[in-house]
Amino acid sequence: MNIKDKVIVVTGASSGLGLSLSKAFAARGAKLALVDIDETRLHEAAKLCREIGGSAQIYCANVADESAVEQVYSDVAAEFGRLDGTINNAGITRDGLLVKAKDGKVIKKMALSDWQSVIDVDLTGVFLCGREAAATMIELGCPGVIINISSISRAGNIGQTNYSAAKAGVAAMTVTWGKELARYGIRVGAIAPGFANTPMVADMSSNILEKAKAGIPLKRLAEPDEIAHTAIYMFENDYFTARVVEVDGGLRL
């Protein structure tokens, strides 16, 4: 699919990978609907997208809120009259061990709230946006592309029970939707990045980050543009669907 003039929703668009993805599609002339909970940064992201050749509208919404997501997609349908793509990128982490023990005594457990908030945004948010994107594309008669952002952590990563479960779910939904939606001309892909150079990773302790980098065969973090490059490939290659592409510098957890 040629990206020029295509209407594409990007969630979590105001920072990190979402901003890079938005800029990559804007540079190819896409009409973007940028979604995030951070309204101030959304305005800045839209300005950047316009400066490099795309058009951009902003939608301040929480991807975990069903009625807010339904509203975004119905507004996009009303304002643009079509929908060609959705990139389900918004995500958060709330890392911690399942249980932490010292001298045979459990001193900490992963809080249910930390489990739930990650599942709400990283799994339910992708479900809701993917569902509304598919429904909108079908009703508007637009064959489109849905791209989900999973993670290398989908394989299971220490300290990330919640995040690993959500990202494994995202990978499974990708294959399911690819099979279910092909009949409507909708293709679905997921990207499973390793460690990328974004604010989410900047929050990690430098000690853990250095250890992580040492284990990456390419010995560096991914640049956000390198993840966006994979999304462009998924969009443009009409034979790609129902698969998860790992972009992790060769790292295996």
Residues taking part in catalysis: 163
C-beta of 238: minimal distance to ligand NAD in Å? Answer: 25
Alpha carbon separation from 3 to 19, 22, 140, 245 (Å, rounded) = 17, 12, 18, 20
* Shortest Å distance, C-beta 129 to ligand NAD: 9
- Taking CB under 6 A as the binding criterion, the range among 24-32, 87-95, 100-108, 139-147 that sits at the site for ligand NAD is 87-95
**Interface with ligand NAD, residue 156, by CB under 6 A:** no
Q: What single-letter DSSP state applies at residue 64?
A: T
* Residue number with CB closer to ligand NAD (142 or 195): 195
CA distances, 71 to each of 16, 35, 147, 202 (Å): 25, 12, 20, 33
Question: Which range, of 73-81, 89-97, 102-110, 179-187, touches ligand NAD by CB under 6 A?
Answer: 89-97
Identified binder of ligand NAD from the candidate list 8, 12, 189, 235, rule CB under 6 A:
12
Please list, in sequence order, all residues whose beta carbon lies within 8 angstroms of the beta carbon of residue 76, skipping any fewer than 6 positions away: 7, 9, 33, 57, 59, 83, 136
> Closest approach of Cβ 4 to ligand NAD, in Å?
25
Q: Which segment (2-10, 49-57, 59-67, 77-85) binds ligand NAD by CB under 6 A?
A: 59-67
- Helical packing angle, 39-51 and 16-27, nearest 10°: 30
- Tokens read off for 92: 């958060």
How long, in residues, is the chain? 253
- For the bound state, the minimum distance from the C-beta of residue 103 to ligand NAD, rounded and expressed in Å, comes to 35
Contact 244, 192 (CB under 8 A): yes
16 binds ligand NAD (CB under 6 A): yes
Task: Round to whole Å and give the CA distance between 81 and 62.
Answer: 23
- Where do contacts with ligand NAD occur on this chain (CB under 6 A)? 11-12, 14-18, 36-38, 62-64, 89-92, 121, 125, 149, 151, 193, 195-196, 198-201
